[in-house]
Amino acid sequence: MSGKLYKASKFSFPVAVLLFLTGCSLFISQDKYYQERVIASSKRPVVYLVSAEFTGLFHTGGLGHATRGMAKSLMEQGYDVKVIMPNYTSIRDEFGKNAEMKIGQTPIRVDLDKRGDSWHVQVEYRVNSYVDPSTNVEVLLMDHIPGAGYSDYFDNGVPQGARPIYTKHPNQGEAFGSMQKAISKFIMNLPEDERPQTVILNDWTAGPLAAFLREERELGKKVPELIGIVHNLLHKGLFDKSIFGWLGIKPEYYFGKNLKGMEYNGQISFLKAMVEFVDAVYAVSGRYSKEVTTARFGGGFEGIMARLLSGYRLTGGLNGIDIEEWDPEKPLEEFKEDLADTFSVKDLERELKEIQMGEKISEHGKIRGKARLQKRYGLPVNNDVPLISMTSRVDDQKGFKYLLNEGNDMGVLERILKEGNVQIIITGDSVSDVYTNNLLDLQNRYSGQFRYVPFEKGKHERILTAYSDIFLSTAWFEPCGLNQFFSMRYGTVPFMSKVGGPAESVRQSETGLLFDIIADGDSVNTNHFETINSIVGEVNQGIDVYLEDKAAFKKMQIAAMKEDVSWSRRIPPLVALIEFVHAKGASILSEIGKLKEFMTPMEMLATLKRVEKFRIKGKDMNCNELIGVIFSGI
């Protein structure tokens, strides 16, 4: 890493000042630094990923894709990876009779509901095992064994075609809390040399595990290093404070030292447990890591997240996708009828040459697929009109307040439709009858241009992604987003909000278009009027490019298809963070000074390695020489 970073960063000045003030002793204090680094071990380091979802077994959205992709990529990096998740009834129904499913024999018993000196509830879990055939990742399934009078914590049965859920149990805090206590016991019951070196916790459902393992660490036991991944800070895992005592969590963790505990506004937050008790927090884009330290995006956690960032405990990086699964050159078995037409970037490059030469356009899979799509949804078949798709929850986060403006002014959708020369298809679950009725009203009034299709599992998302011209997302915040990556693989150009992951992954006017979501004067709430103008202006500009400059639009499609959105590109920051955490990087760098602005995991690790070299050389160098080294590089 060059010295340029340090000259440009606000980190450099405090380092110089503190070196002058403290002398060289900071760098001589930790003689066995790096000696226990897991990465240098001859044995494959073991990582457990704790998640509520894993695509292929059960997922509701992006978390399942991320867990699976992360596990597969970490294995490719040389880690021995296991995923731990609930054994939902939907998994048992579909995979229970599979010969590859191994049923755990010895139950794990956890005590709950402590009153005085006695526990009043005992819950049992089996640890079943399943090896995912497409990734070779072993998934450990926590199988709740209901006692008399208790229902299955992870009964998630829903009508066929409905969006999947985690559980029908009335108290998700009991379900996930007891499961995390069982996972903690499972890990700590393993011989020390068989325990994972690293446990990665995903979102609020894994939060209590951080508290249980922190307590074990404080008892002097060997505990894995802990990394918490924030996929969406909006979901805090809030429960009545009674759940704290019911789970038997250490009383000191309620408020915690300096309020660094699980309490949040009189409730218990499982997400707060995760971010406070893990060794490092990893948000799913670098930009989102910075956003969550502000009142606009922090949702009440901004002070916590800013403190973590200043202490080298908050960083981030983008998710990726499985490009073998999302491949325009492969027909999808479940959509043979609709996706029989495959295509490649070479087809679009040939089309671009034909456009530039004024020749007749040769039909290919993307064009044929679009025509099938238009016909399937009852829209006029016309390749000269851009087809925009949205595959999204119909809720406030995704921007439907300004897509469907409830005031006298028209919302984004109607203003775009009113211009003509565009078709729009939206599929997704609606959280509001008002939103549903407004969408159906638009469909009635713009029947030749617009369709709203309620979510139906496995029916619409993939074909819309593959054969539309444009993917639209107007979320007011988007931690990472995966839809832009899915779309780019198929040459479906993303038009997205300039926030979080989209702002970090879409190159303006090259691989897509970005528009601003404009805040009110309080810098917290969204200014709907200004935001509507911002979105409509950018989208209409993109539509004009499609209609009037076919070559320019085709170049965007080609550039999008060539973009590397794979997990192999995205995993290095997480690997760097694992190494940083095992080297106790946060505590070492915090001795030097607080971090003033965001650093990537690679930057933090490189900084740590420089400091280690200072520590070694510092015995024979005065402080002025050390400062010269920190600015000039080593």
Give 103's pLDDT tier (boundaries 50, 70, 90). confident
Maximum alpha-carbon separation in the chain: 84
Query: For the chain, what is the mean pLDDT?
Result: 88
The pLDDT, as a whole number, for residue 101 is 81
Which structure tokens are listed for 520?
């009110």
- Predicted TM-score (pTM) of this structure: 0.90
Q: Into how many domains does the chain fold? A: 3
- Mean pLDDT value across residues 214-232: 97
pLDDT in tens, 501-541: 999 999 999 999 999 999 998 888 999 999 999 999 999 99
Residue 630 has pLDDT above 60, yes or no: no
User: Within this chain, do residues 294 and 407 fall inside the same structural domain, yes or no?
Assistant: no
User: Within this chain, do residues 291 and 349 fall inside the same structural domain, yes or no?
Assistant: no
Q: In what order do the strands lie in the sheet with 198-202?
A: 108-115, 118-131, 138-145, 80-86, 46-50, 198-202, 225-230, 280-283, 314-316
The pLDDT, as a whole number, for residue 297 is 96
**Cα-Cα-Cα-Cα dihedral sign, residues 553, 554, 558, 559:** negative
The pLDDT, as a whole number, for residue 31 is 34
pLDDT in tens, 386-403: 999 999 889 999 999 999
**Is 571 part of a structural domain of the chain?**
no
Whole-angstrom distance, CA of residue 448 vs CA of residue 427: 17
- Mean pLDDT value across residues 4-29: 38
User: Within this chain, do residues 238 and 259 fall inside the same structural domain, yes or no?
Assistant: yes
Asked which of 516, 531, 565 is the last residue of a domain, the reply is: 565
The pLDDT, as a whole number, for residue 220 is 97
User: Within this chain, do residues 608 and 492 fall inside the same structural domain, yes or no?
Assistant: no
Is the distance from CB of 350 to CB of 359 less than 8 angstroms?
Answer: no
**Is 605 part of a structural domain of the chain?**
yes
Could you give phi then psi for residue 163, rounded to 5 degrees? -65, 135
**3-class secondary structure for 303-358?**
HHHHHHHHCCCEEECCCCECCCCCCCCCCCHHHCCCCCCCCCHHHHHHHHHHHHHC
User: Within this chain, do residues 430 and 554 fall inside the same structural domain, yes or no?
Assistant: yes
- Mean pLDDT value across residues 5-17: 40
Determine which of 25-29, 74-78, 270-274, 454-458 has the lowest per-residue pLDDT on average: 25-29
Give 150's pLDDT tier (boundaries 50, 70, 90). confident
Residue 355 has pLDDT above 80, yes or no: yes
User: Within this chain, do residues 13 and 105 fall inside the same structural domain, yes or no?
Assistant: no
- Mean pLDDT value across residues 308-329: 96
Give 114's pLDDT tier (boundaries 50, 70, 90). confident
Give 457's pLDDT tier (boundaries 50, 70, 90). low
**Is 450 part of a structural domain of the chain?**
yes
Residue 161 has pLDDT above 60, yes or no: yes
Residue 258 has pLDDT above 90, yes or no: no
DSSP calls for 124-149: EEEEEEEE-TTT--EEEEEEEE--TT
Boundaries of domain holding 472: 333-565
The pLDDT, as a whole number, for residue 430 is 86
The pLDDT, as a whole number, for residue 10 is 42
Higher pLDDT, 21 or 94: 94
Give 337's pLDDT tier (boundaries 50, 70, 90). low
Is the distance from CB of 592 to CB of 14 less than 8 angstroms?
Answer: yes
Could you give phi then psi for residue 396, rounded to 5 degrees? -65, -40
**Is 328 part of a structural domain of the chain?**
no
Whole-angstrom distance, CA of residue 284 vs CA of residue 282: 7
Q: By CB neighbour count within 10 A (0-12 exposed, 13-18 middle, 19+ buried), where does 307 fall?
A: middle
**Is 52 part of a structural domain of the chain?**
yes
User: Within this chain, do residues 429 and 518 fall inside the same structural domain, yes or no?
Assistant: yes
User: Within this chain, do residues 216 and 275 fall inside the same structural domain, yes or no?
Assistant: yes
User: Within this chain, do residues 340 and 292 fall inside the same structural domain, yes or no?
Assistant: no
**Cα-Cα-Cα-Cα dihedral sign, residues 332, 334, 336, 339:** negative
Hey, which residues does 124 pair with through a beta bridge?
109, 145
User: Within this chain, do residues 286 and 416 fall inside the same structural domain, yes or no?
Assistant: no
- Mean pLDDT value across residues 229-238: 96
| C-alpha to C-alpha distances, 80 to 9, 75, 505, 515, 569, nearest whole angstrom | 36, 6, 29, 41, 19
Helical axes 172-189 vs 270-277, angle rounded to 10°: 30
Residue 40 has pLDDT above 60, yes or no: no
Is the distance from CB of 224 to CB of 198 less than 8 angstroms?
Answer: yes
Could you give phi then psi for residue 322, rounded to 5 degrees? -85, 105
User: Within this chain, do residues 239 and 97 fall inside the same structural domain, yes or no?
Assistant: yes
pLDDT in tens, 468-510: 999 999 999 999 999 999 999 999 999 999 999 999 999 999 9
Contacts of 64 by beta carbon, 8 Å cutoff, 6+ apart? 51, 53, 54, 55, 58
Is the distance from CB of 383 to CB of 351 less than 8 angstroms?
Answer: no
Whole-angstrom distance, CA of residue 278 vs CA of residue 290: 19
- What is the DSSP secondary structure assignment for residue 405, as one 8-state letter? -
**Is 580 part of a structural domain of the chain?**
no
Asked which of 316, 341, 362 is the last residue of a domain, the reply is: 316
